[in-house]
Chains A and B, each alone.
Chain A
Amino acid sequence: MTPSHPAGPLRARADAGLRSITVGIAALEVSKDPGTLLVTYALGSCIGLILHDPVQRAAGLLHFMLPLSRTAPEQAKLRPEMFADTGVPLLFERMARLGCKMSDLVIRAAGGGSFLDGEGVLDIGNRNYTILRKMLWKSGLMITAEDVGGTRSRTVRVYPATGEVFVRSGSEEAPL
């Protein structure tokens, strides 16, 4: 689908000549082509999980929406990327197929935002983050850098060749 929030004028680096691969909601993409960048738009309570392998110069980006596939097992079969518990293993698998070693992977995460109320009325963002942490911890993996929580919506850009990751919220963009 065409992105609804194309890259604004603010760029931390020139993307000229790079082919942009859009990762939709409940989707994932991997790439070891230095001529590409991975982008996902408007992470609200969803989380973008970013893997980078500096040895293979490969990157992967998963945009998952909900924590657990038992919410909708049938949907999970059709779109495993929708859930943390089915999407995260898939992302690691796809990276492995690119020749990446688990121990080389740098893990980053962005998103998991919450609403202003603070009452936890609708706390999908929080649940997403908790499950992600739990899953990684069980596998002995650590998140190296993260930009999660708060009331911001985030757009994430990942550069497979360099491993750079930029998170944009509104008109502000920062490296992760």
Chain B
Amino acid sequence: MSTLALISAETIVKRVNRLPALSASVARLAALAGDENATVAELEGVVRPDIALTANLLRYANSAAVRGRAEVVTVRDAVLRLGRQQLWNIAASGSLAKVIPTSLPGYGFETLGFWRHSVAVAVLAQRIADAAGLELRVHAFTAGLMHDVGKLVVEEFLASSKAAVLARMGEGGMAFVASEREVLGTDHTEVGGRLAERWGLPSAVVTCCRGHHEPEALGDVPERRLACAVHVANALAHGMGLGADVGELRRKTDAGAMARLALDTPKLEVIACASLDEIERLASGFGGKA
């Protein structure tokens, strides 16, 4: 393992800036999503100029899963039917789906595999955050959805260093994210945090990108429990076979995170089986990736 291809901070910034931005409506909705006083008119005002979001929203509002008696034809009706939370989830999903490249060979991910994993963690994080009654739960879905975006940047460096990363995992039983850090000098959580920041995502989401492997290391910040929810959701998704990549099951599940959310394995099993249908539905029928 003599050829260490450490990535410099400047190189990362350059690559982060090269990725396409999320649609402008996402950052604006991020602010409104957490605002209980946001009006329907304000939400409508953000959605309407974004044609792709409008189309996704109407499609979802009329899908079998949520369809009511009457067809939804206007943005206003869709916002009313789905609510602030779902609108935010849909906007984030649609915009992420558009920036995922066609393949991520470095991580052994197919595009659809990355998408499926992102959606799985989003749905599971939402359910975990709801069950634990987290204050920041409005951002749980998006935090789960975006947790691995750093991989979109680290990907191209990993492709050439994959053997070194895998060797470390094999030799010392090292966790995947630690091997990544040792070989590349950075990892997808650090890079993901920068990317999420550049995309104008809420600080709760940025923090979860950074802290989803070691939520306890975040210290006593308001976002810590949300990061714990994403951490556990991520582990559960990998266990369920929704997101096997080169890292496989080589990850540590933090007992502190489970305790902080008052979770145990049986409770997670309930969440897992309640989520599978929704994950499969969102992964296959939404965002134009399937």
- State which residues 101-115 of B face A: CB under 8 Å: 108, 110, 112-113
CB-defined contacts of B269 to chain A, threshold 8 Å: 66-67, 71, 124
B-chain residues with CB within 8 Å of residue A24 when the two chains form the complex: 280
B248, A169: Cβ atoms closer than 8 Å: yes
Given contacts A75-B274, A122-B258, contact A153 B265 (CB under 8 A): no
Interface size counted on chain A using CB atoms at 8 A? 41
Nearest chain B CB to A8's CB is how many angstroms away?
9
Which residues 1-17 of A sit at the B interface, judged by CB distance below 8 A?
1-2, 4-6
Establish whether residues A116 and B249, one from each chain, have CB atoms under 8 Å apart when the complex forms.
Answer: yes
Can you name the residue of chain A whose Cβ is closest to the Cβ of B238? Answer: A44
CB distance B276 to A127 under 8 Å? no
A173 within 8 Å of B (CB atoms):
no
Complexed CA–CA distance, A115 and B265 (Å): 13
Q: Which interface residue of A67, A115, A119 has the most chain B CB atoms within 10 A?
A: A115
Taking a contact as CB atoms under 8 Å apart, the answer to whether A116 and B250 are in contact is yes
Asked if A6 and B110 make an inter-chain contact with CB atoms under 8 angstroms apart, the answer reads yes
A-B contacts counted at CB < 8 A amount to 123
Considering only CB atoms, which chain A residue lies closest to B285 in the complex? A1
Chain B contact residues: helix, strand, loop or mixed: helix
Question: In the complex, are the beta carbons of B274 and A122 less than 8 A apart?
Answer: no
Most interface-central of B112, B241, B253 (chain A CB within 10 A): B241
CB contact under 8 A between A116 and B175, given known A42-B244, A121-B258: yes
Judge whether B248 and A152 touch: CB under 8 Å.
Answer: yes
Name the B residues within 8 Å of A148 (CB-CB): none
- CB-defined contacts of A42 to chain B, threshold 8 Å: 241-244
Q: Which of A109-126 contact B (CB under 8 A)?
A: 113-117, 119, 121-125
Mark each residue of chain B from 207 to 246: 1 if its CB lies under 8 Å from any CB of chain A, else 0. 0000000000000000000000000100110111111101
Q: Are B252 and A115 in contact (CB-based, < 8 A)? A: yes
Question: Whole-angstrom distance between the alpha carbons of A113 and B240 in the complex?
Answer: 10
Greatest chain B CB density within 10 A among A4, A41, A66, A125 is at A4
B283 touches A41 (CB 8 A): no
- Alpha-carbon distance A6/B276, docked complex (angstroms): 21
- Chain B residue at minimum C-beta to C-beta distance from A68: B269
The reply to whether A113 and B249 form a contact with Cβ atoms under 8 Å apart is yes
Measured CB to CB, the nearest residue on chain B to A40 is B241
Alpha-carbon gap, A105 to B246, bound state (A): 34
Within 8 Å by CB of B241, from A117, A127, A153, A169, lies: A153
Whether B20 is near chain A, meaning CB under 8 Å from some CB there, is no
8 Å CB interface, A89-118 against B: 113-117
B173 and A4: CB pair below 8 A? no
Shortest beta-carbon distance from A151 to chain B in Å = 4
Q: Return 28 A-B CB contacts under 8 Å, by A number.
A: A4-B112, A25-B240, A25-B242, A42-B242, A42-B244, A44-B240, A44-B248, A46-B240, A65-B240, A65-B272, A66-B269, A66-B272, A71-B270, A72-B270, A75-B274, A83-B273, A113-B239, A114-B249, A116-B249, A117-B255, A121-B253, A121-B255, A122-B232, A122-B236, A124-B239, A127-B265, A170-B246, A170-B248
The 5 lowest CB-CB distance pairs between A and B, nearest first, are A4-B113, A42-B241, A45-B239, A153-B244, A42-B244
